Amino acid sequence: MNVRIYVPRDTSANACGADEVAAAIDEHAQARGIAIELVRNGSRGMCWLEPLVEVETERGRIGFGPLTVEAVAGLFDAGFPNADTHALCLGPVEDIDWLKQQQRVCFSRNGIIDPISLDDFEAHGGWQGARRALAMTPQDIVSAVTESGLRGRGGAAFPCGIKWQTVHDQPAAQKFIVCNADEGDSGTFSDRMILEGDPYRLIEGMLIAGIACGATQAYVYLRSEYPLARRVLSEAILRARTAGWLGADVAGSGRAFDIDLRIGAGAYICGEETSLLESLEGKRGQVRFKPPLPAIKGLFGQPTVINNLITLASVPDVLVNGAQWYRDLGYGRSRGTLPIQLTGNIRRGGLVELGFGVSLRELLYDYGGGSASGRPIRAVQVGGPLGAYLPESQFDTVIDYEAFAAIDAMLGHGGIVVFDDTVDMAEQARFAMEFCAIESCGKCTPCRIGSRRGVEVIDRLRQGVDAQANRVLLDSLCDTMQHGSLCALGGLTPLPVKSALRHFSEDFHSTKVQLCRSPFRGDAFQQAASAMNDLLQEPWQHIGK
Amino acid sequence: MKPVAKSSPAGNPLDADTRSCIEQIIQPMTGLPGALLPILHAIQDAFGHVPAASVPLIANALNLSRAEVHGVISFYHDFRSTQPGRHVLKLCRAEACQAMGARALEAQLVSRLGIGFHETTADGSITLEPVYCLGNCACAPSAMLDDKVHGRLTLQRLDALIDGCGKAS
């Protein structure tokens, strides 16, 4: 019998050489007359061990990693596939504490199954949620999602059930389900991992949403930076259609539901829901005014459920195990699990799925093992480029939407980027403004102009030019952006800037301690206010710089 | 906003073959709801860029103004109006990669290639683009060469990637 060997086909694993390792294993096995069956699975999320190769044995799947092409010959010399004594042998993968201690709900199948095998999917609990949904009334499905306490995983944490209920209640001939897979936040890749490792999970979640809300057409809006995810999902949609899970008569139920995959074009703003809808309609990805909400007037003016990919991928388990089961996981008003991504300067980076309530410190040190460089962790940015920078004194904050809001931070899509003590926080604050300037859709002035002015003000601060006045100006600019922007891009860019100023003021200028402590409202304030007025009166000459 | 390539409104006229090829790409997609982005992607996949002269064809097929089509092309970072180099190297400039030394990689690229972002080397081998996250944040820093992501980059590995593009230092 052929020995089954798993080599991930996942962007991160491939970026570290998985394709080449797979080819080398195949070659060496053939040369040595060893009969193997090579399966390209998704990733388990233990990114620091990628490429992580697994061998199926009677004792479970034995892992080897991180492998390199160069190590493959030595592995075979040590008896691979039976090479337990090899230095890179990790023993049974399921016994690795990092993985074993997680609560994998969304990621229960990732790394285990062949992502595009419908048989594998079904053998590991796939379609159970959809089957259940097909036997329920739409209202019962919506109620179950509401009772589960599931909140949007894209960052805004809006209760999913309320959104579904709104669309459910709209009388309309055509409604839409839209999956937001425009995962643009740095430090996040959970959407990508589902697409590459368990794509039918998303299809099942979207199908359930369609049944619940009365939508027959769905779209996945996927960012163009994920070419592998695109290939895997395209293949999965085709196979699901062939198998009758998508199309005019889903699983013989007489109901129609289909999914179309659309690719973004490199605009971060299209992760904002109304901008995404504009883009899907073939327009510039500019933010819409709300109201009307997308649930009432969304894609092509029709009632639309637009959910983050992880939200939709969480739904099948809610139906299979019940709303109460899901609700029992979690903390405070944050129910269920969150796939957390440990990234940046971290020793054991990857995907950790846990019920809400774990502390940042446990994640950084128990799971993450501290920084990759071995230097002290100085700051972590949680929630993407619009998330706050947190200092060590806030590492005991627990993963919970409200706990993060209470310290002027946010969880966002669950990405944690770790920086060691070599980071220059003034440079990070500047980058936050720069990124906003590059990615602003241009519709509202505080974001479009404010971000450009923000870069300049921080530059002057760092050069020590008129430090007091510029510090006041920066605070005022942050307030304007926060309160005056149309969407979260301009509205939240001040979060990383202000948190860097608050917690790491020593990085901004040599006189900063004195600055922060003096509650000045005198000349400097007046000066700043007048400078601000000038800016707002003649912004046009700066555009295009 | 990305800088918009300077070209005359209609661009260089299309030869008959190119024109027919573009029409064949557009025609089957005109019925798609929100067809513009899929059409632009398909044209760019075929030609490496969206020729300015294709804009009137697209506009006509979708009953849009040329300004609307141009507005969409110029809005999105991905769409380009001029032919890129033989290879497109996208270096991730986002936070997770910054935390692992992406700024040093950026400096090395700019100095070795002698070009900035959105520019192409004189020999036409490499176009350098910034990218903000490739989703490889736990194996940072990252870059994407054509369609392949490379992780855990070092100055040496980045050099090797450039060498592989046929651009000697």
Same domain, yes or no: B99 and B69: no
Amino acid symbol at A92: P
Contact of B160 with chain A, judged by CB distance below 8 Å, is answered with no
Q: Which chain A residue is nearest to residue B141, measuring alpha carbons? A: A344
Distance CA A211, CA A374 (A): 50
Report the complex ipTM.
Answer: 0.93
Same domain, yes or no: B140 and B94: yes
Which pLDDT band, with edges at 50, 70 and 90, does B12 fall under? confident
- Asked if A24 contacts A72 with a C-beta cutoff of 8 angstroms, the reply is yes
Q: Tell me, what's the pLDDT at A530?
A: 52
CATH code of the domain covering residue B153? 3.40.30.10
Percent of chain B with pLDDT over 90: 89
Residues in chain B: 169
- What residues are paired with A351 via a beta bridge? A341
- Domain containing B55 equals 16-75
Smallest Cα–Cα separation from A270: which of A184, A188, A206?
A184
- The reply to whether B140 falls in a domain is yes
Region(s) of chain A under CATH 3.10.20.600: 330-420
DSSP notation for chain B: -PPPPP--TT-SPPPHHHHHHHHHHHGGGTTSTT-HHHHHHHHHHHHSS--TTHHHHHHHHHT--HHHHHHHHHHSTT--SS---SEEEEEE-SHHHHTTTHHHHHHHHHHHH---TTEE-TTSSEEEEEES--S-GGG-S-EEETTEEE-S--HHHHHHHHHHTT---
Q: Do B137 and A349 touch (CB under 8 A)?
A: yes
- Asked if B84 contacts B48 with a C-beta cutoff of 8 angstroms, the reply is yes
Region(s) of chain A under CATH 3.40.30.10: 3-96
Q: Which residues of A touch B142 (CB under 8 A)?
A: 15
Assign A87 to helix, strand or coil. coil
Distance CA A420, CA A423 (A): 6
Same domain, yes or no: B92 and B66: no
Same domain, yes or no: B71 and B94: no
Q: Tell me, what's the pLDDT at A1?
A: 76
Backbone angles phi, psi at A285, to 5 degrees: -80, 65
Which pLDDT band, with edges at 50, 70 and 90, does B169 fall under? very low
Instruction: Give the total number of structural domains in chain B.
Output: 2
Q: Tell me, what's the pLDDT at A523?
A: 54
- The reply to whether B160 falls in a domain is yes
Smallest Cα–Cα separation from A221: which of A275, A257, A161, A168?
A275
Q: Which fold has domain A118-328?
A: Rossmann fold (3.40.50)
Q: Which residues of A touch B146 (CB under 8 A)?
A: none
The partner residue sitting opposite A417, judged by closest CB among B75, B78, B95, is: B95
Give 10-residue mean pLDDT values along chain A (545 residues).
Answer: 95 98 98 97 98 97 97 96 96 98 98 98 98 98 98 96 98 97 98 98 98 98 98 98 98 98 98 98 97 98 98 98 97 97 98 98 98 98 98 98 97 98 98 98 98 97 94 97 98 98 89 39 49 43 34
- What residues are paired with A389 via a beta bridge? A381
Residue in B32, B93, B137, B150 to test binding to A, most A beta-carbons within 10 Å: B137
- Domain endpoint, select from B45, B75, B105: B75
- Asked if A196 contacts A10 with a C-beta cutoff of 8 angstroms, the reply is yes
Same domain, yes or no: B91 and B160: yes
- The reply to whether B159 falls in a domain is yes
Q: Tell me, what's the pLDDT at B110?
A: 95
Region(s) of chain A under CATH 1.20.1440.230: 425-542
Assign A469 to helix, strand or coil. helix
Same domain, yes or no: B95 and B58: no
Same domain, yes or no: B134 and B105: yes
Assign A328 to helix, strand or coil. helix
Q: Do A224 and B78 touch (CB under 8 A)?
A: yes
Per CATH, the number for A330-420 is 3.10.20.600
- Asked if A525 contacts A531 with a C-beta cutoff of 8 angstroms, the reply is no
Region(s) of chain A under CATH 3.40.50.11540: 118-328
- The reply to whether B136 falls in a domain is yes
Backbone angles phi, psi at A342, to 5 degrees: -95, 115
Assign A247 to helix, strand or coil. strand
Distance CA A102, CA A369 (A): 15
Same domain, yes or no: B159 and B138: yes
Same domain, yes or no: B25 and B48: yes
Q: Encode B27-37: b = buried (16+ Cβ within 10 Å), e = exposed.
A: eebeeeebbbb
Distance CA A493, CA A437 (A): 10
Q: Tell me, what's the pLDDT at A509?
A: 72
Smallest Cα–Cα separation from A378: which of A517, A509, A503, A515?
A503
Distance CA B7, CA A221 (A): 31
Same domain, yes or no: B55 and B97: no
Contact of A439 with chain B, judged by CB distance below 8 Å, is answered with yes
H-type helices in A46-189, by residue range?
Answer: 69-77, 97-100, 118-123, 128-134, 138-148, 160-169
The CATH number, out of the four listed (1.20.120.1200, 1.20.1440.230, 2.40.37.10, 3.30.200.20), of the domain defined by the range A425-542: 1.20.1440.230
The partner residue sitting opposite A265, judged by closest CB among B1, B78, B142, is: B78
Give the mean pLDDT of chain B: 92
Contact of B118 with chain A, judged by CB distance below 8 Å, is answered with no
Helices and strands per DSSP (H, E), number in chain A: 23, 16
- The reply to whether B81 falls in a domain is no
Q: Do B144 and A225 touch (CB under 8 A)?
A: yes
- The reply to whether B4 falls in a domain is no
Asked whether the predicted pLDDT for residue B167 surpasses 70, the reply is no
Q: Closest approach of chain B CAs to the CA of A51, in angstroms?
A: 11
Touching B: A residues 82-121, CB under 8 Å: none
Class of domain A3-96: alpha beta
The stretch B134-149 carries a mean pLDDT of 98
